[in-house]
Amino acid sequence: MIVFALAVLFLIITPGPGVLTTAGFGAAYGFKPSLRYVLGLFLGTNMVMLAVITGFAAVILSMPTLRVVLLTLSMGYLIYLAARIAFAGAKIAFIEAKSPPGIMGGVLLQAINPKAYVVNTSLITGFGFMPDNLTLEIILKILITNAIWIPLHLGWLYAGTLLHELNLSQRTQRTINILMALSMLLVVFLAATFAQGRTG
């Protein structure tokens, strides 16, 4: 169980679309207004987890044409977000939008987030610790995952709000934006490649 908890920590804490956009919205709107978006990510994450547990994700992703369409759409959307991060200008607001993020935005991001499927598949199918009671093991895995997921994402959100308050030079801010965008593209590419390999 400890090994599983450590796996959750290291898999979730690495920068991906969810944590990067969480920090971005924190920087753009502040902590409290962005909580609705984080709630959406939370709901979306648990929906993906349920899809993995029930096998629905595997069934959908086993259809070659649909898998290609979903991966193409998700990659296109995430590349668009990365571009918004890279060209956010002089403000460390990784995603610029005219209205505050909402719950549905978070849910939709997780629904097309390759890393969400890769991470949840790895956690649910691996790191077993109760072979004699798989139902209880899955329930505990869900509880442990959420117990770690919530404070980590709130921490990323808070970090974004702190960045918003720093008086950094334009050059430094642009460098941070570009590095965040590149790291997001790398993580998304690796996750999508791994997901395609697992379902191919």
CA distances from 31 to 85, 124, 150, 162 (A): 19, 31, 14, 9
Within-domain flag for 198: no
Q: Where in the sequence is the domain holding 92, given as residue range(s)?
A: 13-193
pLDDT at 23 over 60: yes
| Lookup: tokens for 182 | 């590149």
Within-domain flag for 148: yes
Q: What is the mean pLDDT of the chain?
A: 79
User: Is the pTM higher than 0.85?
Assistant: no
Within-domain flag for 154: yes
Please write the tens of the pLDDT for every residue from 88-130: 554 544 455 555 568 998 898 888 777 788 788 888 888 888 8
Within-domain flag for 98: yes
Q: How many helices (H) and strands (E) does the chain have?
A: 9, 0
Within-domain flag for 8: no
For residue 154, what pLDDT is reported? 95
The C-alpha angle with vertex 150 and arms to 148 and 154, in degrees rounded to 5, equals 120
Question: Sign of the CA dihedral 26, 27, 33, 36?
Answer: negative
pLDDT at 143 over 80: yes
For residue 110, what pLDDT is reported? 87
Q: Taking residues 160-165, report their average pLDDT.
A: 78
Q: How many domains does the chain have?
A: 1
pLDDT: is 164 or 95 the higher one?
Answer: 164
Within-domain flag for 159: yes
Contacts of 55 (CB under 8 A, 6+ apart): none
Structure confidence at residue 141 as a pLDDT band (50, 70, 90): very high
pLDDT at 36 over 50: yes
For residue 124, what pLDDT is reported? 86
For residue 146, what pLDDT is reported? 95
For residue 90, what pLDDT is reported? 43
